[in-house]
Structure 1
Amino acid sequence: MANASLQLPCASQSLGTVNSLVSTLIQTLLTAQCAISAEPNWPKDYGDTAITEGLGKYDFIVVGAGSAGSVVASRLSENPKWKVLVLEAGDDPSQESEIPALTSTVQQSPQAWYYYSEPLPHICQGLKHRLCFHPRGKAIGGSGAINGMMYVEGHRKDFDDWLAAGNTKWGWADVKRYYEKAVRPVGNDTHPKGYVVLKENYSNEKLAIGNVIFNATAELGLPRLGKLENGIEIGTIYLPVTARVGRRMSTGKVHLAKVSGRSNLHVIKNAHVRKIHFERGGTVATIVTFVLRGVNEMSVEVRKEVVLAAGTIDTPKLLLLSGVGPRKHLKKLRIPVVQDLAVGANLGDHVITTIFFRLPNHTLVEPSQLRPTDAIYDYLIHNRGSLSGIPSGLTSFINTKGDSAIPDIQFHFNLYRSENRQLFQGHVSRWDEKIIARISRNFQDSHLLSFMLILAKPRSVGKLRLRSTDYLDAPRMYSNYLDVPEDIATMLRGIRFLERLERTKTMRALNATLLHIPCDECDSYKYRSDAYWRCYIKYLGEGGFHHVGTLKMGPKSDRDACVNPRLLLYGVQNVRVADASIMPDVPRSNTNAPAIMIGERAADFIKEDWKECVKQVQPMWEHFSN
């Protein structure tokens, strides 16, 4: 039958042997494709059982199976006496999610929430719809299933500042222990446990451009860094990434799926939580209501705690819909107020501006001998090649003033080869098509080297509000990027650093030059003047996808604080938040590693608090009210 399906209109037909060989090849490729995101890689879905048998009470309900939520569920279910339920709005990750080089394609797919800021006239004007785009993961693994996979712990000052602000036991010495715990191999085949899997996953091509970047940045005084032992430092480095053998390793895989065989752990996919119900004057959460597969509304009771880990956008959105938030905002929407807290305030994010260098296509790298078909074959059969590599893990941390060892700018570097312009177009598909076309013209005779200039410690702060009382509506995001003049000044100094990089011997030897992208508005200013670069940022500046802060952690004296240093929601005795929304401000690094660390800490807080409670033989809410 297979042979018959391969009878192509060739000049000379196969006698059968060639057809059999080709059939074997096709079957091998299809099998390898299915294995990219195979069912055993992910936790089993308890949804059908929930529909037929209903749901009883659970000790812990974890909302969100993202970077932190998967860790929390994995750790809590280590106690066989605790019954744990995970509610995830998405499904298993797609095949594209698992392939490192295709990360950006997933960010504009059904496996991401499409969020946009309210209009900002001074930034994101070069993006589609002229709006800042904020994709958030909607799959097992959460945003860890669609991100760039960099694992960066942040600068020690980030956490020491949290400690100084009144967040007890959140200094660098405290969190460092949890970073170490997160990556420590634990468990065995009979008693599996989760831990973060890290690997420097770079192709030969990435290593080749790496040598150029190391040499060029060294001319400007940046040392080459090895393994970071105490947070980030000034210098250039290959960052560790959450990947192995050409596959993404989100916590949804290495924590939640690894332990999904535990009988006390249930995961329901495509379960969109729409409300938390409270009793005892709004001080105790009792029921969580969710919509399964867009059709079945279901409710489940909680015995001990609800752990919110839906992320910086969806966790505050859920709380606001449930009546926890600013009284004035909730009353305007006629939502009964359960707790008056600054939910949705303090929205923080990094800001990115991408700048390009042109490299003549006869320099640096030889033309690739691999066609796209060869690349996918190499990946499917051998888990190697250009598709297996991380797009932009080569990074520099710099201080643009030169007056401190604390970075204020981070660069990610990436090489786009002239013969692989499709990969570039996929990575920037959120941009306006005219800008993509203007940049792509350069592939006729050049490679492009991109520099993602990241504002490490933005001072501008935004907020999040509900659009309506419909749980399906996206919230309103007021990002307020670059509202503080200091942020723009730092970005400009970062661009000046790249101009200095252009003048290094290393870059001049390659004939590398900054790419001028035609733009009527920006070209009305003198090229490379401050006014020109401000205009450039207006068009190619955007958010960094590192949202934090909408449920700020802080002491009770902080009017903007929503959770205490043990991550318990103020005024509510059994709701804990375990995701990036609790960060008081944006750390000087990518935020996935800190989110995982927060998940580890939340799990330990819960274990400690409930161990105490058991000893005293009293309900949790009495324990916390004393």
Structure 2
Amino acid sequence: MTALTRRVVVVGAGSAGCLVAARLSEEPHLRVVLLEDGPDHSTESVDAKLSSWNWLDALEATEAFVPDLTARRHVTDLPRLYRRGRGLGGTALLNAMIAMPGLPADYDRWASEFGLSDWSWKEVGPVFTKLEHDLMVAPHASLTPLDKALLSAAPELGLENDADLLGADDGAGRLWLNAVQGRRHSSRERYLKPAMRSGRLDVRPGARVDRIIVRNGTATGVRLVDGSEVDADLVVLCAGALETPAILLRSGSSRPGVGSNLLDHPSVSILLKLREGFRIVDRTKPTIGAALRVSSTSGQSDLHLLPVHGLPAGTPGGFDGRIIIELMAAESSGTVRLTSSDGCQPPSVDQRMLGTARDRAAMREGVDLAMRLLETDEFTRVVSEACVDDAGTHAHRLRDEDFYQSWVTSSLSGAHAGGTARMGTVEDPQAVLDGRGKVIGWDNCWVIDASAMPVVPTANPHLPILMLATRLAEYLVEDIA
């Protein structure tokens, strides 16, 4: 390295980390080292599953899951597996490839409530427009029987069935996907692999970071769990909304907002048995290609219903699919806390979902809408039975309020965590980062991932994370210069 060359360590190769490392490697005066806890799956047989655009293939690639991360979804819940990706590509290896930006109001809220004027829809909308070039809409020919039933049934519920889900329409519509014809097209494929071929990026899989080394308020590198250290002029955390706050806490951060404000999209599922003629799953096509988006009585476009055709191998009960009901604008928040100073131990994740009356009412509306959907002519033509558990308890039991309350709190899931090291003004005591992603109180340290979001948008997070990473990477290049 020359005297002017600076070493940047990027921690985490997920949706944000792949983009950030690739962008920084374009700068001739930077030497970029990307550290990832998991392996490079592209050299293994599991890559075929991870590259498929059928979500079931990814869900069955258990080698790419974080093995021991659990979360309590509800205050009455026991810890259960929280699905996160591990390896080059991160959770984008395993997601349903759904691409939505969220609503303009989401980002205007960042600006108005958190003092982040540079993050209004006026500022971020053009970035989403550029990102659209890497997306595709689910082709009509790839729609599953459940996708088609959803689109056909929407008018029976008084809803449109040609909604633009990349825009702000309510109704049913085909989904946009971060895919190319026949293949997943996540950050690993779009950003990391081309950058790796350039020879300007040092990628180190199998390197789990314990903590940032901070001397006199300045980040000078990172320490791995094996005790080795990697020196750096700049450290960029892209480890995700659950691991990034854990690393900050182990590193001695004293900001009270670290690990607080854990936000997610609570979801529940109704399991489906399909009639003969609709049961066969075509693994050459996406397992989900359409969705229904509606507004609850207390929110805007905050309920999503997603029909999934097929279930992972080994799923009990003999079911053929499910309807996922997601609350996309939940008020309830939780925490990420350390269970140990040992960097090999996962953090304690307490989500506290449905902790407000508004969230509980909105989720009830979503479930009621799903029940109405299942009673339409189109769905009764395709679906023979709907159940709420593996034992085959019929979905009509959800009309019993006591049963519903017990079921919903024990069935909650979520995979869209964010907000745990959020941006804000320097004067905001709960802010961990300033509006350019820099860790408040430390020099030469940034966070660029979903933990930086003050509020999780009303969308699957992959596309908003790419927008965030695109903008913060440019800010970082400016700050370094």
TM score, norm. by length of structure 2: 0.90
1:301 matches 2:257: no
Percent of aligned pairs sharing the same letter: 28
Identify unmatched segments of 5+ residues in structure 2.
Answer: none
Structure 2 vs 1, CA of residues 118 and 510 (structure 1 numbering), >3 Å: closer, same or farther?
closer
For 2:260, the aligned partner's letter is A
For 1:199, the aligned partner's letter is M
Distance (whole Å) between structure 1 residues aligned to residue 204 and residue 376 of structure 2: 55
Distance (whole Å) between structure 1 residues aligned to residue 354 and residue 325 of structure 2: 14
Say whether the 8 Å CA contact 2:165–2:175 is kept in structure 1. no
For 2:150, the aligned partner's letter is I
Instruction: Determine which of 410, 421, 446 is the counterpart of 1:576.
Output: 446
Say whether the 8 Å CA contact 1:290–1:298 is kept in structure 2. yes
Distance (whole Å) between structure 2 residues aligned to residue 232 and residue 389 of structure 1: 26
Structure 2 vs 1, CA of residues 606 and 249 (structure 1 numbering), >3 Å: closer, same or farther?
same
Instruction: Determine which of 69, 73, 83 is the counterpart of 2:17.
Output: 69
Instruction: Determine which of 394, 398, 403 is the counterpart of 1:532.
Output: 403
Alpha-carbon distance, 1:198 to partner: 2.3
Deviations 1:439-487 (A, max 9, x none): x2xx5xxxx4521000111111100111011100111111111121221
Aligned to 2:264: 349
Identify unmatched segments of 5+ residues in structure 1.
Answer: 1-55, 124-129, 185-196, 326-339, 369-384, 417-422, 430-435, 612-626
Structure 2 vs 1, CA of residues 262 and 358 (structure 1 numbering), >3 Å: closer, same or farther?
closer
Alpha-carbon distance, 1:173 to partner: 1.6
1:415 matches 2:309: yes
Distance (whole Å) between structure 1 residues aligned to residue 309 and residue 93 of structure 2: 23
Alpha-carbon distance, 1:137 to partner: 1.5
Aligned to 1:221: 158
Say whether the 8 Å CA contact 1:150–1:240 is kept in structure 2. yes
Alpha-carbon distance, 1:512 to partner: 5.2
Distance (whole Å) between structure 2 residues aligned to residue 511 and residue 138 of structure 1: 35
Deviations 1:341-399 (A, max 9, x none): 4210111111111013444325xx3x75xxxxxxxxxxxxxxxx922322234211111
Alpha-carbon distance, 1:549 to partner: 0.7
Structure 2 vs 1, CA of residues 132 and 351 (structure 1 numbering), >3 Å: closer, same or farther?
farther
Secondary structure, counterpart of 1:169 in structure 2? helix
Secondary structure, counterpart of 1:568 in structure 2? coil
Aligned to 1:376: none
Aligned to 1:286: 220
Say whether the 8 Å CA contact 2:423–2:433 is kept in structure 1. yes
Say whether the 8 Å CA contact 1:62–1:69 is kept in structure 2. yes
1:246 matches 2:201: no
Secondary structure, counterpart of 2:324 in structure 1? strand
Instruction: Determine which of 118, 123, 128 is the counterpart of 1:174.
Output: 123
Larger mean CA deviation between 387-396 and 214-223 belongs to 387-396
Secondary structure, counterpart of 2:271 in structure 1? strand
Secondary structure, counterpart of 1:258 in structure 2? helix
Alpha-carbon distance, 1:508 to partner: 4.4
Alpha-carbon distance, 1:202 to partner: 5.7
Instruction: Determine which of 29, 33, 57 is the counterpart of 1:102.
Output: 57
Say whether the 8 Å CA contact 1:201–1:243 is kept in structure 2. no
Structure 2 vs 1, CA of residues 386 and 319 (structure 1 numbering), >3 Å: closer, same or farther?
same
Secondary structure, counterpart of 2:221 in structure 1? strand
Aligned to 1:464: 336
Aligned to 1:319: 248
Distance (whole Å) between structure 2 residues aligned to residue 255 and residue 63 of structure 1: 16
Distance (whole Å) between structure 2 residues aligned to residue 302 and residue 451 of structure 1: 47
Larger mean CA deviation between 510-519 and 68-77 belongs to 510-519
Structure 2 vs 1, CA of residues 84 and 518 (structure 1 numbering), >3 Å: closer, same or farther?
closer
Secondary structure, counterpart of 1:61 in structure 2? strand
Structure 2 vs 1, CA of residues 133 and 518 (structure 1 numbering), >3 Å: closer, same or farther?
closer
Q: Which has the higher helix share?
A: 1
Secondary structure, counterpart of 1:570 in structure 2? coil
Structure 2 vs 1, CA of residues 489 and 72 (structure 1 numbering), >3 Å: closer, same or farther?
same
Alpha-carbon distance, 1:218 to partner: 2.0
Secondary structure, counterpart of 1:83 in structure 2? strand
The structure with the larger Rg is 1
Distance (whole Å) between structure 1 residues aligned to residue 144 and residue 371 of structure 2: 23
Alpha-carbon distance, 1:498 to partner: 2.0
Instruction: Determine which of 82, 101, 118 is the counterpart of 2:30.
Output: 82
Alpha-carbon distance, 1:170 to partner: 0.5
Secondary structure, counterpart of 2:119 in structure 1? coil
For 1:105, the aligned partner's letter is E
User: May I ask how many residue pairs the two structures share in their alignment?
Assistant: 469
Aligned to 2:345: 473
Structure 2 vs 1, CA of residues 89 and 210 (structure 1 numbering), >3 Å: closer, same or farther?
same
Instruction: Determine which of 134, 139, 142 is the counterpart of 2:82.
Output: 134
Matches within 5 A, 1:200-211: 200-201=137-138, 204=141, 206-211=143-148
Alpha-carbon distance, 1:509 to partner: 4.8
Secondary structure, counterpart of 2:468 in structure 1? helix
Structure 2 vs 1, CA of residues 592 and 526 (structure 1 numbering), >3 Å: closer, same or farther?
closer
Larger mean CA deviation between 391-400 and 577-586 belongs to 391-400
Distance (whole Å) between structure 1 residues aligned to residue 175 and residue 397 of structure 2: 37
CA RMSD of aligned residues (A): 2.7
Alpha-carbon distance, 1:324 to partner: 0.9
Alpha-carbon distance, 1:85 to partner: 1.2
Structure 2 vs 1, CA of residues 121 and 567 (structure 1 numbering), >3 Å: closer, same or farther?
closer
Secondary structure, counterpart of 1:86 in structure 2? strand
Aligned to 1:199: 136
Matches within 5 A, 1:229-240: 231-240=167-176
1:115 matches 2:64: no
Distance (whole Å) between structure 1 residues aligned to residue 16 and residue 34 of structure 2: 12
1:483 matches 2:359: no
Deviations 1:253-280 (A, max 9, x none): 2101112133432111111111211123
Aligned to 1:388: 284
Instruction: Determine which of 571, 594, 598 is the counterpart of 2:468.
Output: 598
Instruction: Determine which of 244, 253, 273 is the counterpart of 2:209.
Output: 273
Alpha-carbon distance, 1:64 to partner: 0.9
Aligned to 2:378: 506
Secondary structure, counterpart of 1:162 in structure 2? helix
Distance (whole Å) between structure 2 residues aligned to residue 235 and residue 164 of structure 1: 28
Distance (whole Å) between structure 2 residues aligned to residue 526 and residue 354 of structure 1: 14
Distance (whole Å) between structure 2 residues aligned to residue 144 and residue 206 of structure 1: 22
Say whether the 8 Å CA contact 2:64–2:85 is kept in structure 1. no
Say whether the 8 Å CA contact 2:51–2:183 is kept in structure 1. yes
Say whether the 8 Å CA contact 1:206–1:415 is kept in structure 2. no
Say whether the 8 Å CA contact 1:394–1:414 is kept in structure 2. no
Structure 2 vs 1, CA of residues 320 and 480 (structure 1 numbering), >3 Å: closer, same or farther?
same
